[in-house]
Amino acid sequence: PLPLRRYLTSKDRFHAYLKARGASGNEEAAQEDEEEESVSNDQTEPPAKRAKLDDPVKEGESQEDAEEAGREEKEPVERKRARGQNKSRPCMKPNHYEKSRLCPSVTQGCAEKCYFGSRCRFLHDIDEYMAVKPADLGQNCVLFETFGKCIYGVTCRFARAHLGDGYQNVVNVDLAKQWEGKSLVRNNLSKDLQHQLRKKKFSFEKADEYLRCLAKSHGNSGKGNKGAGNSTEGQEVPNCTAPEKGPGDAPEHPVLLDEGEDPKPAALESPGPVDASEDSPVTATGPVTDEDIIKLRPCEKKKLEIQGKLYLAPLTTCGNLPFRRICKRFGADVTCGEMAVCTNLLQGQSSEWALLKRHHTEDIFGVQLEGAFPDTMTKCAELLNQTIEVDFVDINVGCPIDLVYKKGGGCALMTRSNKFEQIVRGMNSVLDVPLTVKIRTGVQEKINVAHKIIPRIREWGASMVTLHGRSREQRYTKVADWDYIAECAKIANPMPLFGNGDILSYEDANQAMQMGVSGIMIARQVGALIKPWIFTEIKEQRHWDISSSERFDILKDFTNYGLEHWGSDTQGVEKTRKFLLEWLSFLCRYIPVGLLEHLPQKINERPPYYMGRDYLETLMASQNVDDWIKISELLLGPVPANFTFLPKHKANSYR
């Protein structure tokens, strides 16, 4: 499905057009594009990565040894260039863009109660801060317009919309009352729970019991029971989900923020399900249950009724909460948080717990866990079962990246059947919600093993399996094997099996559903990241020739959701920009329907250079990083000095 001939162009003309229409500051980027080999279909490696590949012969090493080593490394180097991550990319954290920051105690209106006092490294003088604060990025603040109050006050990059005399933060009282007490984002990590996890005071009674039984069944209490020694049986279970102070309660000291953490309005976020306090004098009325003593039977567990629904896959980096809100608006039925590492969750890492956050519009929501051992995975499942609200928990047995695979997680669990079984059985025993598993066809390209594992997963107690029609070695290259997915769907019956891979149009979705699967998952390299409106196309059974202005409005909504989620201060703006640029690295691969000779677009066919129907459509088709930055500047203002960006994931399905 190539673009119509009248839209085709050469690489030089493509970039010359963008250079002529764009800002004059892109001259260097255009020269770099002209120096690239026009015959190459692959993006060139980052300079730091090229340097590693071009290392000269080391001292003391003979030429023959060097040649032999070169022959051994030649093949892996070629594979490495086509897959994985840009590990050597320059990385600049968003909180480093602002050298002089205002103390959070000043922003929260209690500067006299700064915990660090004279030792505080932040500014406490508002006039001094305003003198060095970067210029505002716009006239309207999305937080003020939506909620009636911007909690970032003078630090907001759109502060002119809500600052009065003397830098006083203006509040729209009527609008703020409408949102008072409402929880828009759930599953937050409370300070109390974080403290318990860091001090190892959280009780894992069910997990410890399972691990003790597991150790006895192996006849050795020392193996497979790393967590048994930390048993808290007999101790009082601490109340980790006690409600936090209301928005009207002033803290004795201002809340101190971890590095990279943003203050959030108490009315917009809640720590999850709220239980009555242990020392509450109020006597509870109602039926008495024995759930704390007798665990639920499999038939009593909540069922996961999502057959035939559209499932947005957990997408690392790009599957953040603002992006899921975009997909939800276009018709996604089921959403799932990004892959979270169980050991990081057990340590109380704020950045990892942020992956579990759930927006109130996500009516069917799950979280995905990654781990390699039954003790940590079972404990993490029990932790989440007690502290957050989810409809299901998914185990990642499909992650192909080396960092996870070499530690025994992800795809490696498909080759470690004993550990895999212990993990599934253990997590299922401590969860009150359904447990699902996401797998691939196998580890090696031509050796499929999923059909052997799926019946065992059903026997272990999983409620559903999702099968990606590629092996670990294939990563995201070549086409997904839907014939094999159909074969596995028959084997899995009566357990639901969702298929995943190469869904980029409603025709692809229709063909997939004819394979006998219970539903389809729309994921990274196809579908959701390239065209999030695919959910609308599938439900309405049509091709949507979406205009460049409509696509730009989608990006505008994403930035507004990002500012609402990550904050409207400098740190929040740059974090929003970072995730926007990551998404643009996939969006640029979409070819407008009105430009195609034949429908639909196929994911494994790389398009030639083409000119869009207007400048914005052409700009969105560029695979030049500088053009993505230009789009971000249209939405979030100019980038900071010394700003650099390379996408985290290299999209390599075009082969």
User: Nearest 5°: phi and psi at 636?
Assistant: -125, 15
CA distances from 328 to 322, 368, 585 (A): 10, 18, 21
Q: Residue 590 carries which side chain, given as an amino acid letter?
A: Y
Is 153:326 a contact under the CB 8 Å cutoff? no
Distance CA 464, CA 424 (A): 12
Q: Is 584 exposed, middle or buried (0-12, 13-18, 19+ CB in 10 A)?
A: buried
Q: Please indicate whether residue 399 is annotated as part of the active site.
A: yes
Question: For residue 95, which of 654, 569, 507, 508 has the smallest C-alpha distance?
Answer: 569
User: Nearest 5°: phi and psi at 185?
Assistant: -125, 125
Is 482:512 a contact under the CB 8 Å cutoff? yes
DSSP class of residue 367 equals: E
Tokens for 68, please give them: 């032999």
Is 628:583 a contact under the CB 8 Å cutoff? no
With b for 16 or more beta-carbon neighbours within 10 A and e for fewer, the 33-56 pattern comes to: beeeeeeeeebebbeebeeeeeee
Distance CA 319, CA 322 (A): 8
Q: Residue 450 carries which side chain, given as an amino acid letter?
A: A
Q: Which residue in the list 156, 318, 380, 399 is annotated as catalytic?
A: 399
CA distances from 413 to 266, 313, 373, 395 (A): 40, 20, 9, 10
Is 123:102 a contact under the CB 8 Å cutoff? yes
Q: For residue 132, how many C-alpha atoms fall within 13 Å in the half-sphere facing its CB?
A: 12
For residue 611, the SS3 value is: coil
Distance CA 334, CA 338 (A): 13
Tokens for 224, please give them: 């497979």
Is 424:438 a contact under the CB 8 Å cutoff? no
Rounded (10°) CA dihedral 41, 45, 51, 57: -40
CB neighbours (10 Å) of residue 240? 21
Q: For residue 646, how many C-alpha atoms fall within 13 Å in the half-sphere facing its CB?
A: 15
Length of the chain: 655
Is 621:588 a contact under the CB 8 Å cutoff? yes
Question: For residue 382, which of 574, 237, 261, 529 has the smallest C-alpha distance?
Answer: 237
For residue 252, the SS3 value is: coil
CB neighbours (10 Å) of residue 190? 18
With b for 16 or more beta-carbon neighbours within 10 A and e for fewer, the 126-151 pattern comes to: beebeeebeeebeeebbbbebbbbbb
Give just the sign of the alpha carbon dihedral 313, 352, 577, 263.
positive
Q: Residue 448 carries which side chain, given as an amino acid letter?
A: N
Question: Strand 185-186 vs strand 358-359: parallel, antiparallel, or unpaired?
Answer: antiparallel
Active-site amino acid positions: 399
